[in-house]
Amino acid sequence: MSYFICRRAFRDAEGPVPVGSVVDPTGIKRFRFRLQEKHIVEVTEQNFEQYATLFEQRYGVTIPKLDEVPSKESDEEKELLAKRVEELGLDLPEDLTFEQVQAAVAEAEEKDKAEAEEKAKEATPVAKDTAKAKVTENNK
């Protein structure tokens, strides 16, 4: 398990990112550049002690332990996912993880999309026949 933490403060599209804050790679513009330039560092089990000491001594910031990192899913995402489950009419068990629920919703959406495409294929010939009939009626 690992997470990314800001080592050098910078300004992002959403505002300033302070030193010692845990960042989400998908939420940072030009993430790879910042990682390459060491503005952001990846904290793993192997280098946790090294970075914990560095941040404590240099910046006076205590970084969270690997098991204390806030989860990636926010309350907003959970609410949107719950709403989508309701809309799809899925009956899912309560003990599923966030990722399992996301996978179930994606699968249900694919199934709905495939059904809609099949219905559209069936409806298309009827529409063409109707259009042809109207054209021949207008030509008479």
Q: End-to-end CA distance of the chain: give it in Å, rounded.
A: 75
- Per the CB < 8 A criterion, the answer to whether 15 and 32 are in contact is no
The rounded distance, in Å, linking the Cα atoms of 118 and 55 is 57
- Residue 134, pLDDT score: 65
H or E element that contains 54: helix 48-54
Domain co-membership, 99 together with 60: no
Domain co-membership, 51 together with 79: no
Pick the most confident of 5-19, 70-84, 125-139.
5-19
Q: What is the mean pLDDT of the chain?
A: 80
Domain co-membership, 55 together with 86: no
Domain co-membership, 19 together with 63: yes
Domain co-membership, 63 together with 88: no
Spatial CB neighbours of 135, under 8 Å, sequence gap ≥ 6: none
Arithmetic mean of pLDDT, 118-137: 66
Arithmetic mean of pLDDT, 130-135: 64
The rounded distance, in Å, linking the Cα atoms of 75 and 136 is 58
Domain co-membership, 63 together with 102: no
Domain that holds residue 109: 75-139
The last residue of a domain, from among 68, 94, 113: 68
Total domains in the fold of the chain: 2
> What confidence tens digit (pLDDT) does each residue in 30-79 have?
899 999 999 999 999 899 999 999 999 998 988 888 777 655 556 667 77
- Per the CB < 8 A criterion, the answer to whether 16 and 6 are in contact is no
